[in-house]
Structure 1
Amino acid sequence: MKHRICLFLALAASLFVDQAQAQKASWIWYPGDFDIYMSNVMQNRRTERGSFFPVFWKMDSHYVLVDFHKEFTLTEPEEVKLYVEGTYNVKIDGQAISGFPKTIKIPAGKHKLSLKVYNQAQVPAIFVQGKTVISDETWLSTFEDKEWIDASGKTSDKSGTTFVSAGSWHFTDPLIAPSAFKLPVTPHAATKIEKANQGTLSDFGKETFGFIKVHGLRGKGRMSIYYGESREEALSTDKCETLDYLDIDLSAKKDSIMPLSKAFRYVNAQYEGSVAADSISMLYEYAPVTEKGSFKSSDKELNKIYDVAKYTFHLNTREFFIDGIKRDRWVWSGDAYQSYLMNYYSFFDAETVKRTLWAQRGKDPVTAHINTIMDYSFYWFLGIYDYYKFTGDQKFVQDIYPRMQSLMTYIDGRKNKDGLLEWMPGDWIFIDWADKLSKEGEVSFEQLLYARSLETMSLCAKLANDADGAAKYDQQATTLKKKLFDLYWNANKQALVHSRIAGKPTDNVTRYANMFGIFFDYFTADQKLGVKKNVLLNDNVAKITTPYMRFYELEALCAMGEQSYVLKEMKSYWGGMLKLGATSFWEEYNPDKKGTEHLAMYGRPFGKSLCHAWGASPIYLLGRYYLGVQPTKPGYKTYAIEPNLGGLAWMEGKVPTPNGDIEVYCSNKEIKVKSAVGMGTLKLKSKSKPNAPGAVVTEIGKGVYEIKIEKGKEYKIKYTYGPHGL
């Protein structure tokens, strides 16, 4: 474990670096391969009561033979060091160098350096370090060399090989190979220890994640360790979700660290035979991301909700964005899509977003939806364009676009005769965990996500310079959106109905398609008001009990200006978990449940995750809809600020961007703004014209004003808050 801590010191700065930092030599591989490899390693760590619990879907692997090359023009000869994971050859201008050289000399002039690497066990990867000759994402790579040579030795004039930009996580230490990567750890002690049967119950004070360390272990017999997110779970030796068994035969004291990290708050250690131990601690395992975003307000309970949401999200930010730390620990696309949005308002770690998107998609050919779930394929598309919107990273879109095309081709091939999607063998239509939620027929929610994904494909096709694809996907999206409203919009109910069965729309109205239609901006102004009244604020429409879909419901209400209502809902819903003693937010919360009913799910008494990424959505809601900050051009080249107090006396916070923070303070008398990036537009409502020294105030409507925010300047705006103000 000491090695793991040292490893972090060398890797943390290189893995989780800001994109703004200058490029230097790094380990490179075929794009997406290390992400897929690492997700396989991580996702296959799941155990359930000591048994291996593999994922439900096809797992792809890295390419085992990869060719890398780049052309360089040198003004003088250069000595270049080579570090390689795998068996390899090296060529300069097509001429092979004998053996496995660690250092080569490249003459002055224009030359092509090539390395071909084979590695079955790990990802073929290279690190090239010279004065100007370095390995980075400008290198080209291929997994399939389609060259041929005739009898004379001449190479073909027409190449059939497809080369793509190399992938990288910015591992910048040549002596630490990518396959050695592990998350860092730090020691933590229990806050309370008490006797429990033939052992001890250790309380670590709050939900946490890491490796249990047993100090002074000795004797002969068995040590059993039962983990619990709750006290009840840890004490339930026959029903707890995770455990460890150790058969001990030690005459002298020895410290022992469990082989797999686990989620827990409580640890119940039981001893049999003569086994004993001096104490138990843990090594807390974490992703070394930087907390950049912040939020604080006049409401102490809301501040607590924000802090616990941030902690919940950090726990579920690991090598990738995962669903929950106790049970699955898998990369679910629907969960990850929400994590991306939370990330943009907290850590703004672009690398983790890219890794997760690569890992989810896997390789061609496509044989099933992502995670086998129809809606999860659509969230994957949406996540890519959002990534571009927040980061401005066009290269990533271009790199991943071919895999977007092949997934969309698979989806297009599953349409029925009416051009709609419905359940087919192998598909899982998830939508949400909800009792009596019909998945039969052609569900409107799936068609809506499909339309949005086609729009995303059109936008990304333009970024990838595929004009024909952009036009094709745009036409498909337009056709499907028209069909969506022709078939599902019910004028009497002022809502999209849930489904169409046997060619006929049902009368059933659910919240899902309707709330997404609001923030997708698919409705007219009148339709939005109808949906708000007849669906979102209608208690007769089935309520949502998961934080997963609560996220979108509250976003739709915020988009309709209902921040005051949403504030009460956040305090009731997330505050309700806090009142029950939650130290992280749960997979599901139903206030009608009592006692240990809150711990049960999936037919198991402790099946529910008490630390789930989708429970952390207040991070996004508060940054996007209360502080009111969002990019209007990719990478925050331009952005909007439209603060909404929603009943708060004051609030303040930071929203991170690729190149610095946007700071906002808002009370019912004053707004302060400072930005390190781009050109912003502050929009506010005031009874009288705001006083903004050093700024131009423009009235764009009755009582509605705009102020331009320039990079590096501080603005203090006095305004008159009223019933129709912020």
Structure 2
Amino acid sequence: MRALVLLIYVFSIIQFPATVKAQEHLNERSFNGQLIEDVITRAYVTPVKIVWQSDNQNNLVQNSQVLLTPFDGQLTTSGKGMCVLKSDDDKTASILLDFGKEIYGGIEIAAAIRGDKKPVKVRIRLGESATEAMSDCIDNSIPGMGSATNDHSLRDYTIELPWLGTVEVGNSGFRYARIDLLDKDVELPIRSVRAIFRYRDIPYLGSFKSDNERLNKIWETGAYTVHLNMQEYLWDGIKRDRLVWLGDVHPEVMTINNVFGDQDVVRKSLDFGRDTTPLPGWMNGMSSYSLWWIITHRDFYLYNGDLEYLKEQHGYLSELIKQITSKIDSNGKEKLDGGRFLDWPTSENPEVIHSGLQALMLITMEAGKDISVWLNDKLLEDKCSEAIKLLNSHKPPSHNNKQAASLLSLAGMMPTEQASKVILKNGADDFATFYGYYMLEALAKDGKYSEGIDVITDYWGAMLDLGATTFWENFNYNERFNAVAIDQLPDESKFNIHSDGGDYCYIGLRASLCHGWASGPTSWLTNHVLGIQVIEPGCKVLRISPNLGDLNFVEGSFPTPFGIVKVKHIKQADGSVVSDIDAPKVIRLIK
């Protein structure tokens, strides 16, 4: 008995090492702090369809259906049941695979055992559309011309496959992969071609469901588009440019606020813009993108209420606001320098750009005023108030341009009903993927919710009709007629929606088909149809005011720092709406 008591005592005073993660253990013991944790999750995706192969006679491509079957990642010494590619002097064995949905990541090819151990050359072409995967990559200095180019990420390259081994290569944004066997008079047995999907493993806290399945799919597609762009930083697109553009970030952050809640990738990206732009520089070389940085900070704080993070911006923000206000002349006209840019469709119209920048500067000063109040900075508040008064003394026209009209309306510089007439002229014609969000916001300000729903259904819905699983960098609504969809093989007798359109930096196949700035309907449907709007920072006060239009019901959820808010709205026979709301008790709800 004494021995047992002694043993218990000894074990009670021994200090065993605490349990640590493998990353932490290896970083300390083996790598001297060199390891940096990858916040991105990897998963493997098996193709869902063989879109095309170079022959269907079982000569050059044999047993291709095996590539559609699950693979556990481990090759064996058996060569039975493999897909076999054979090329000769006259013909090349090729196959085009569809992974069913756009993803970000790379390709894994598992080459099985074969007689000759010499490495075999294959060509890999990745594509956001079937046309892109079937195209050739040409001179990168000339965007378009039927080529996506290899700018920003490789999508057309040659590699060697080992004997009885697996190769991983990437990364890019794609849905399709074409494999060509380049070596002649060889047989290449392949067990698997899988996509390596890289994404943040985070929950979808927000949701939207109505009796209109098209709207539901649009909401989901916008959320997924931004999710893919939440990589190490918040990117504009996963194929191109894979950069932090501080104007593109605003609609993306609004989607994150409404779907994923508070995410550190937002802080990391906003800080990146600040830290890589010493004043008097402009973010991304464009004055408007520094304006969007301020607006984004206002909206991010409004949703998440992180005052300590907002305080970290105080010094830079104050100096940036001083810099911006110095670009207003005595007549109240903006005189911003640097790159003068709203979006690509307006980029060659200086009068429209001035009208838009005048309004955007006023919206920025309103955001700066809100932030200065939250930071208890009276001097900065007064500076913003003076700028607001001065800017309001010059109200430029919209020039019947939808982008300009939307910003002027949101800034209070143009009557909402007049702006709506400009925005709704010819329906979805001249809508834009980026500024379409602000066009929708201007319609909501005028109470045109049904019209906004119609435009979303037409414009963003047309991308779905053309095979989209994510929303695009650019879309000309009039190009939808008799067009080759992105999930169809090229047809020279028809307009190809990917290779034949585009302009500026997104000519033809270079255009990104997964661009976060196009996600505006996701936020808009949550805020205006589901009717959840943040009134006080940190979601302490929410307004629930649904606008169903022609819908019979809508339900969904909304993330807050205090937990999930759930709402359901059902239209009654007399047109009234009955709402069921479940929210954390600490949140005050108003209607």
On whether the aligned pair clears a TM of 0.5, the verdict is yes
SS at match of 1:606: helix
Give the 3 Å change call, closer, same or farther, for CA 237–677 of structure 1 in structure 2.
farther
2:476 aligned partner: 590
In terms of mean alpha carbon deviation, does 212-221 or 395-404 score higher?
212-221
Partner of 1:235: 134
**Structure 2 residue aligned with 1:546:** 432
Alignment length (residue pairs): 489
* Contact 2:161–2:167 (Cα < 8 Å) also in 1: no
* Aligned match of 2:553: 650
- Answer whether contact 2:245 2:284 (CA < 8 A) is retained: yes
User: 1:314 — aligned with what?
Assistant: 227
**Higher RCO (C-alpha under 8 Å, 6+ residues apart):** 2
Aligned residue number for residue 98 of structure 1: none
Q: Give runs of aligned pairs for residues 702-713 of structure 1, distance below 5 A.
A: none
- The verdict on how the C-alpha distance between 1:611 and 1:388 changes in structure 2, with shifts beyond 3 A counting, is same
- TM-fit CA distance, 1:597: 3.8
Counterpart residue number, 1:202: 97
The unaligned stretches of length 5 or more in structure 2 are 1-16, 21-26, 55-91, 138-146, 485-494, 573-577
Q: Kindly report which structure 2 residues correspond to 1:355-374, keeping only aligned pairs within 5 A, or say none.
A: 355-363=268-276, 365-374=278-287
Q: Take 1:299 and 1:221, find their aligned partners in 2: how far apart are those partners?
A: 51
Asked if 1:456 corresponds to 2:367, the answer is yes
Residue 566 of structure 1 aligns with which residue? Answer: 452
For residues 261-296 of structure 1, the C-alpha deviation after alignment (integer angstroms, 9 at most, x for no partner) is 211111111122247351311211001221000010
Cα shift at 1:235: 0.8
Deviation at 1:379, TM superposition (A): 0.7
- Go from structure 1 to structure 2 and tell me whether the alpha carbon gap of 1:605 and 1:267 turns closer, same or farther (over 3 Å shift): same
2:471/2:513 contact within 8 Å kept: yes
Give the distance between the partners of 2:345 and 2:277, measured in 1 at CA.
33
The answer as to 2:515 corresponding to 1:616 is: no
CA distance in 1, matches of 2:187, 2:300: 53
- How big is the shift at 1:420? 3.4
Q: Secondary structure at the match of 2:367?
A: helix
Q: Secondary structure at the match of 2:461?
A: helix
Distance 1:441 1:562 in 2: 24
Partner of residue 477, structure 1: 388
Trace 1:112-131 onto structure 2 (pairs within 5 A).
Answer: none
Q: Deviations over 1:470-507 (max 9, x none)?
A: 222222222222x233xx2xxxxxxxx14xxxxxxxxx
Corresponding position of 1:578? 464
Match of 1:510 in 2: 401
Tell me which of 248, 264, 275 is aligned to 2:160. Answer: 248
Aligned to 2:309: 396
Shift of 1:247: 4.5
Which digits, 9 at most, give the CA deviation of each residue in 1:410-439, with x for residues without a partner?
334445565533464xx2222122268512
Distance change (3 Å), C-alpha of 1:468 and 1:605: closer
Aligned to 1:213: 108
1:376 and 2:286 correspond? no
Matched, 1:344 2:231: no
- CA RMSD for the aligned pairs? 3.1
Offset at residue 367 of structure 1 (A): 4.4
Q: How far has the Cα of 1:175 moved from its partner?
A: 9.6
Structure 1 pair 627/474, CA: closer, same or farther in 2 (3 Å)? same
- CA change 1:213–1:653 in 2 (3 A) is same
How far apart are the structure 1 equivalents of 2:120 and 2:323?
55
TM-score (norm: length of structure 1): 0.63
Aligned to 1:428: 339
In 2: Cα distance, 1:598 partner to 1:262 partner:
20
* CA spacing shift, 1:673–1:226, aligned 2, 3 Å: same
Taking the aligned partners of 2:277 and 2:474, their CA distance within structure 1 comes to 34
CA contact (8 A) 2:360 2:411 kept: no
Structure 2 residue matching 1:654: 3-state secondary structure: strand
Q: TM-score, normalised by structure 2?
A: 0.76
Letter in 2 for 1:403: Y
Counting aligned pairs with the same residue, the percent is 27
Equivalent pair of 1:214/1:277 in contact (CA under 8 Å): no
Greater fraction strand: 1
CA contact (8 A) 1:434 1:545 kept: no
- Any gaps of 5 or more consecutive residues in structure 1? 1-79, 84-125, 128-173, 489-496, 499-507, 684-726
1:270 to 165, 180, 184: 180
* Structure 2 CA distance for aligned equivalents of residues 365 and 291 of structure 1: 36
Q: Give the deviation of 1:649 after TM superposition.
A: 0.8
Q: 1:451 to 1:551 in 2, by over 3 A?
A: same
User: In terms of mean alpha carbon deviation, does 330-339 or 304-313 score higher?
Assistant: 304-313
